[in-house]
Structure 1
């Protein structure tokens, strides 16, 4: 009997060792934060191997795999609008909040996650911001401190780095042109508002270096190819605090968004994928991620557990996009707007880029 029990235990251990889960995320410093906070402790706790796969935008390979009928990823880290669209198309597994771990005080997950962080087919892990950063060594006098300054190449000469898509550029143009953050989508929903955004972008078009991957704006700044760039706040934080780069962030007009975990219906390892999702979105794991990158956890109960950076000295609160002071001029992502307008604005944006 003792031998039989031991053999059963060994069999379970071997089965866990054979399991794996393929997680598709964004690479760079963000991937490092997930490996440290989620993947390593998950493998230690379960014996399930995590294969991390980097993509410039994980929704792109997810859509391609679904269309090809050959899904190889198990968990994808995507933006809200993509999670909603793919769920509506029936491509994702539904996720019951009751399956997710409760907060340490017993508060159910459905009440513990921040509003909007739980969808029918997705669970948010972080809040993040697209912000402006500049190289402090390029400005010896007055330094830029607003979205309007990003567009003022007379007062602050030099190249600008911008992402090659309408979602992360048009809002900033309107903010710089004086539109209040809470009215950006109201304005952008009109033909006049779209024209206004492109007119503002026209003023710096010849000074823009366009980027497509999250690591690029940091590199553009570091190499001196631009003096200011927009990019993900966590990437800039990693460069500033982790690597000692002489950068400074402008929080005015940041674009706030969430990243969400989704599991495609045809995932090769669905059970391991669900175990990973539950583990990675518990209170402690989300708080632990903030030791490695400046993104805000999606659970209320995680906030009190966020302390210092991995260096043990840097307080993370001033670097969080969810800091109340930074939220005053933040533009919150509107996934429904982009679900309705993404195709037409992308077409207009690409035409504008081509000079048509």
Structure 2
């Protein structure tokens, strides 16, 4: 069994933490959870935070919406020796980086997480979604593009390269203020074969080519840092199209009735889930372990899909996905994994981005500042 350095510090601490986890004693009565805000965080609150708090009325949960800055902030906390977060929602690539740097706790998924209802161990139920020994998967989501249906004329966009077509679709765009997805789309729309894109991005020349393509629309781009930004910009009519997470677009379209369409072409599949910061005190770790076992079981992940159109990371959860909790519409066709929506996809290359993220990030930010 893999144990964190926290639990390995002394044999007494190992026993005490395990005992607290099993018996429900000696746990902290509060947690700070870190997520992304907006519709996604609301789905987490509804699907498992509120049910957990109903079972534990003496516990309180505070939310921090800093997941986009999780790596930098956890590095700073570790340097200062003051870990104030208890559980952090991150994308798969960031989980790998945090694990490699010793900032996230390694876990034995089968020991820490609930098995499927039929007894299938958690590691098998989550399967390939476990991209790191530190990563506790929750959902499959995609980064894709939404557009204003009343601003694209009689020919709505059908492929990702509409982003770069200022002649057919004039107006502002919004893009993530990070390279992931942007550079892949740029190279694809500059003629690089899809199966050669990461080979190209591993080189200075390929990175420069991606930025040169993005240069062609740079003065028409509003750069976002929160997933809620693009839906708001679309709702306000400030942009004609922009990238964000598919669940944010679903919320704007289905729940708010905004005049927005969704472009599934070349959507970027990714896994999102929890990491537990390394170095938590025994009582906080015990509480987190109790919560995360509940929050990632088969039923809870299926319940989350009733509030947002992200596919649950557990295989056993998929058959339990039903209708939207408020709208009553079937959710399966709105998932990025639906066959009709996943004809042409990218799958985030975790190892590539774990290796190249810092360098490409620095280059991308320097380009933005030019």
Report the TM-score when normalising by structure 2: 0.87
Tell me, in whole angstroms, the C-alpha distance in 2 between the residues paired with 1:327 and 1:114: 20
Quick one: structure 1 residues 89 and 195, their matched pair in 2 at CA, closer, same or farther if it must change by over 3 Å?
Answer: closer
Which residue of 114, 119, 131 corresponds with 2:144? 131
Tell me, in whole angstroms, the C-alpha distance in 1 between the residues paired with 2:80 and 2:343: 44
Tell me, in whole angstroms, the C-alpha distance in 2 between the residues paired with 1:204 and 1:312: 37
Which residue pairs with 1:250 in the alignment?
263
- In 1, are the aligned partners of 2:188 and 2:194 still within 8 Å (CA)? yes
Which segments of 5 or more consecutive residues in structure 2 lack a partner in the other structure? Answer: 1-22
Which residue pairs with 2:65 in the alignment?
54
- In 1, are the aligned partners of 2:43 and 2:307 still within 8 Å (CA)? yes
- Note the aligned Cα RMSD (angstroms): 2.0
Which residue pairs with 2:84 in the alignment?
72
Which residue pairs with 1:41 in the alignment?
51
Tell me, in whole angstroms, the C-alpha distance in 1 between the residues paired with 2:98 and 2:47: 27
Quick one: structure 1 residues 180 and 36, their matched pair in 2 at CA, closer, same or farther if it must change by over 3 Å?
Answer: farther
The aligned runs of 1:97-112 (5 Å cut-off) are 97-99=109-111, 100-112=113-125
Tell me, in whole angstroms, the C-alpha distance in 2 between the residues paired with 1:348 and 1:52: 32
Tell me, in whole angstroms, the C-alpha distance in 1 between the residues paired with 2:48 and 2:192: 39
Which segments of 5 or more consecutive residues in structure 1 lack a partner in the other structure? Answer: 1-11
Tell me, in whole angstroms, the C-alpha distance in 1 between the residues paired with 2:204 and 2:192: 15
Number of paired residues? 343
The aligned runs of 1:201-280 (5 Å cut-off) are 201-268=214-281, 269-280=284-295
Q: Which runs of 4+ in 1 moved over 6 A?
A: 12-16
Tell me, in whole angstroms, the C-alpha distance in 2 between the residues paired with 1:316 and 1:177: 35
Q: Does 1:31 align with 2:46?
A: no
- In 2, are the aligned partners of 1:182 and 1:331 still within 8 Å (CA)? no
Tell me, in whole angstroms, the C-alpha distance in 1 between the residues paired with 2:320 and 2:160: 32
Quick one: structure 1 residues 93 and 347, their matched pair in 2 at CA, closer, same or farther if it must change by over 3 Å?
Answer: closer
The aligned runs of 1:342-353 (5 Å cut-off) are 342-353=357-368
The aligned runs of 1:92-241 (5 Å cut-off) are 92-99=104-111, 100-117=113-130, 119-241=132-254
Which residue pairs with 1:3 in the alignment?
none
Which residue pairs with 1:9 in the alignment?
none
Which secondary structure does the structure 2 equivalent of 1:240 belong to?
A: helix
Tell me, in whole angstroms, the C-alpha distance in 2 between the residues paired with 1:291 and 1:154: 39
Which secondary structure does the structure 2 equivalent of 1:137 belong to?
A: coil
Which secondary structure does the structure 2 equivalent of 1:71 belong to?
A: coil
- In 1, are the aligned partners of 2:146 and 2:261 still within 8 Å (CA)? yes
Which residue pairs with 1:8 in the alignment?
none
- Give deviations 1:50-83, integer Å, cap 9, x for gaps: 2222225151433332222111111000122221
- Give deviations 1:229-287, integer Å, cap 9, x for gaps: 00111111111111111111101111111112111122241100011111111000000
Which residue of 83, 91, 94 corresponds with 1:82? 94
1:107 CA drift (Å): 1.0
1:184 CA drift (Å): 2.5
